[in-house]
A and B are shown apart, each in its own frame.
Chain A
Amino acid sequence: MKNNIRMHRGKFNLTQEDLSTKLGVSRQTINSIENNKYFPSLELGLKLSKILECTVDDLFSLE
């Protein structure tokens, strides 16, 4: 699975720290998700899509 979180985050000029604060997770967790070391739960994925104003499909796709 690959993701475009970094790209979508860039659109809003959000740092990993900003995004993690909005999501209520640690910065390291955002880093792990962006580097495909950890695949988030559906709940976290939906929260991410809400904050980044896109669909879950825009953020995550199967390789």
Chain B
Amino acid sequence: MKYLFHNKWKGLSGWIFYLSIPIGMYLLFTDSFEDLMRIKVFSLFSYEKIITTPQTENILGSIGFRWIENGFLDEILTFVIIVSGIIHSFCKEKVEDELISKIRMDSLVMSLYINYGVLLFFNFFVYELSYFYVMVFHIFTILILFNLIFRYRLSIHYKS
């Protein structure tokens, strides 16, 4: 299969991936992201709060192309989780043959179906800001699901 990473990256990327997920979840649930690493970042698009002054009616602040102050740790963690997750998911096995490729492909299809199945379920039962959290989780769940399914099926294959 083309477009796979070298096997030597599998271990390191796996450690980073599986360590950064609980760190990210802890910081998300303790609401710490906004307080850590606050720096000025350039925003292409972001709403500001509605500003009300005696002179003006309610106006919406600038919506893009401006510098804003933001907790930058969530962006870094998102980058680390996605990059390490992709590298770990798509590293070659020591002996990469066509059966491994088939297992990888089947696992990817299965994880995609489950991921979007769960998303469709939440689409009808989770609303308002909670739905935003569902969407955030779904950025990562496809990688996690794929890894779980692929590694489980590989372990069965290697035991045969």
Contact = CB atoms under 8 A, between A and B. Distances in A.
B158 interface: yes
Interface string A1-40: 0000000000000000000100011101101100101101
Question: What is the interface residue range for chain A against chain B?
Answer: 10 to 19
B32 to A, nearest CB: 45
B95 to A, nearest CB: 4
B160 A28 contact: yes
A32 B97 contact: no
A28 B98 CA distance: 12
Interface residues of B, number: 10
A44 interface: yes
Nearest to A35: B160
Nearest to B103: A38
A38 B157 CA distance: 11
B66 interface: no
| Residue among B98, B99, B100 having the largest count of chain A Cβ atoms under 10 Å | B99
B6 interface: no
A25 B103 CA distance: 14
Given A28-B160, A31-B160, A32-B157, A38 B99 contact: yes
A41 B99 CA distance: 9
